[in-house]
Structure 1
């Protein structure tokens, strides 16, 4: 019985996802010792980079007690837009695409706040809108990036074995951590997730903060699209769609409460690496990729069931 409070304290401190990550590294390394070689670990970080950016954006929204079902579809739209215009406009087009994705996230947040329709419904609707726009821009075909690829190819270079792509992800995570820890914004975001009505009564401009978190999710979806195009040298209408469920799973496995208010950037980094490592492990043992979403869905359900605070409820706004 005494072990349960200790486990709960470790979970609340954010140690649980780190323990899971270490256990998975040991398990996969025992099954295939070559996995522990630096090139294999660098490859894991490269694969995890786009997923981690989407998970970080999702975590910022979830901390306010919302959810963003549209950020993966937005990343697909940003990807085909980037691939379509990179050869004509060059490096400046990268900035245009990221700013455009940020504005799309901003629009989602504004509509959610002004209409007071739950974020689940709003973002589900925008998932369809972004998916349709992606099909239109790409003409339902993959776009191979040849001209202008040098503008983004460097993102997946390695310096002393460290992938620049994941170094960029760590810089983003560090910036988010600084904003959450050094400024009142972090406390306000968590206050909104824990009790939005009380936060509003205390003078916090809850609507603007929620909108800013959706804009942040959009910006990170745009950055994830840049990394994916650099990684694949192509883009398609559904390239990033498959990352929606893994990104949500990464947030929940990382210890961010689906009801909001509890969690953080570091936990989400660990959660994203856990999910990326699971994908590698499943491939090593020969599990068909078609069955992997079943696992991610089960992980989300079990993690929420095990960690949800039922005194507050688990409904998503």
Structure 2
């Protein structure tokens, strides 16, 4: 594989920069083919890197300002130029880095990325993905927070970008696509969803569209790509994460309630470790901002070191994949067909 350079916002996230440094520890323990451009306050970062074995694979860029996690996107944009988040994005824009990662403010990251990198031709609004564990493996869900609402044309764009992303990342030749709805029947749902379904059914986009899917279908792996608006997708994502933690808590409580249950837990230790790994949100952390002229990965702001390492690893994998070419080809198909609600 080709050597890669990743740009990392060291100051973004609830527990930055400590979690970022710890996450990079885990990342470099598993792969050594990357160089990191680390953006942040060097007075805090230099002491943390002193004893790191991977320090020579890291370039520090000093930025005095940090985007607050509760800052409004408009406010963050006005004072963006001196921040570690802006520096991270600019390294991707100039080509110094193949991909960028931040656990910072989602709205600010989207706004800054759009201003700096610009949208790919044919994209109205970029979407943000989540990789979702399922009974059949993994699926892609988008949008999960970049856009609170989406019209039919944007949902079609999400479908095209998500399908291209799944093909590049999962290696599936023909990923299946579904629209998230309150039922599988054609007459159900909002007008935008029904119109998007009509466009996906009737236009030759080369997509294996399976129609509507419901919330319980996501984890079942009924389709490879689930398309929805950012409000619904974010609620579904946070609900799934909370449910995973709830189940984990219940299991720990049940297996420590008596000597007999503890003995049973010891006998089933191997299987329980596998279950814990599957229920761990950190193992699938990292949402990609699809539709930009550059690869930007958004890590969960409250993630732990393992989760941040997962996001950095995703960025590295994308940098070495055909992801950008796949998405551009999909958007080109939409442009050639002149997809819009008026042309249904």
More strand by share: 2
Higher relative contact order (CA 8 A, sep 6+): 1
Higher normalized helix content (fraction of residues): 1
> What TM-score do the two structures reach when normalised by structure 2?
0.27
Greater radius of gyration (CA): 2
| Structure 1 length-normalised TM | 0.29
